[in-house]
Amino acid sequence: MSVKTFTLVIPNDINGLAQNEEYCLLVCDNRYRKIRLHDYHEIYQIPGLYEYLFYDLLECKSPEVVTQALIEQVKQSQASSDLIVLELGAGNGIVAEALTNNGVETIVGIDIIEEAAQAALRDRSHVYQDYLVEDLTNLSSEAREKLKATPFNCLISVAALGFGDIPPLAFASAFNYVNDEGWVAFNIKSDFLTDREPSGFSQLIHRMENAGILDVHVKQAYQHRLALDGRSLQYVSIVGTKQTSIPQSMFEELS
């Protein structure tokens, strides 16, 4: 059993803050340190803080919702091959652990920050076959070779798209490392799928669907987590299959 080694204070002035502005105060040596909930490089360095904040306090359900939706689709399809998963925005391995608990044996994690890889190794060392610290919009040649050499038949990304985290271009790049007919499972804030949304995800996903690049099997709206002020944050979980790679012309528009 892990022991909580930190003390957190939720400030009074958090009402109505945007999701990427939410913060809490960590008590350290009798002083308060402000930590934004999206300061993952700081959060991962404190064992148990990510889990306490997002899962215990804010009741995040996304790893469970997205992995269950994926596993159900895979079972229904009666496809016999084992999943070889590329996990984008892998963090400290909570999604990979959920997949492992469902019998998935091969997962390669990718995240842009070193602290995520270190936390995954510290907290869930058994769940990844490999873990790359890379920017998918500017991959090292070594990472490109590794990704090309692995016959991925599944891409998953949970709680990581948009908000200055993973941009559409990085998602598109990861998508193209998955084989045709491979599974694609991710979640995204419901607001990010509306027409005038500026992150570019709404446009990308609609274009992928319309062009027959992504065949969406299920879309499910649900509560991703609570905001610090108690509001419900609504997301959509999407599971589909890749039909073909995103063409270069679409990449040029995303750059």
Ligand X SMILES: C[S@@+](CC[C@H](N)C(=O)[O-])C[C@H]1O[C@@H](n2cnc3c(N)ncnc32)[C@H](O)[C@@H]1O
Site for ligand X contains 70 (CB under 6 A) = no
DSSP line for 204-244:
HHHHHHHTTSEEEEEEEEEEEEE-TTS-EEEEEEEEEEE-S
Provide the minimum distance between the beta carbon of 176 and ligand X in the complex, in angstroms, as a whole number: 15
Compute the distance between CA of residue 164 and CA of residue 144 in angstroms, rounded to an integer.
23
Q: Considering only residues 42, 165, 197, 209, which one is a binding residue for ligand X as defined by CB under 6 A?
A: 165
Q: Residue 50's closest CA among 160, 136, 187, 142? A: 160
Site for ligand X contains 89 (CB under 6 A) = yes
> Which one, 139 or 213, has the nearer CB to ligand X?
139
Compute the distance between CA of residue 255 and CA of residue 250 in angstroms, rounded to an integer.
9
> Which one, 79 or 143, has the nearer CB to ligand X?
143
> Which one, 42 or 181, has the nearer CB to ligand X?
42
Half-sphere exposure of 125 (CA within 13 A, CB side): 3
Site for ligand X contains 184 (CB under 6 A) = no
Tokens of 17: 């803050």
> Which one, 90 or 147, has the nearer CB to ligand X?
90
Phi, psi of 24, rounded to the nearest 5 degrees: -135, 175
> Which one, 26 or 66, has the nearer CB to ligand X?
66
- Burial of residue 200, with CB atoms counted within 10 A of its CB: 0-12 exposed, 13-18 middle, 19 or more buried: middle
Q: Considering only residues 84, 85, 132, 166, which one is a binding residue for ligand X as defined by CB under 6 A?
A: 166
Q: Considering only residues 74, 111, 188, 227, which one is a binding residue for ligand X as defined by CB under 6 A?
A: 111
> Which one, 79 or 233, has the nearer CB to ligand X?
233
Phi, psi of 17, rounded to the nearest 5 degrees: -65, 145
Compute the distance between CA of residue 119 and CA of residue 177 in angstroms, rounded to an integer.
25
Q: Considering only residues 26, 86, 94, 117, which one is a binding residue for ligand X as defined by CB under 6 A?
A: 94
Q: Kindly determine how many residues on this chain lie close enough to bind ligand X according to the rule CB under 6 A.
A: 21
Site for ligand X contains 69 (CB under 6 A) = no
Compute the distance between CA of residue 207 and CA of residue 102 in angstroms, rounded to an integer.
32
Compute the distance between CA of residue 207 and CA of residue 201 in angstroms, rounded to an integer.
10
Q: Considering only residues 49, 95, 108, 139, which one is a binding residue for ligand X as defined by CB under 6 A?
A: 95
Q: Which of residues 141-160 bind ligand X (CB under 6 A)?
A: 158-160
Q: Considering only residues 112, 184, 228, 254, which one is a binding residue for ligand X as defined by CB under 6 A?
A: 112
Residues that bind ligand X (CB under 6 A): 40, 62-63, 88-91, 94-95, 111-113, 116, 135-136, 158-160, 165-166, 170
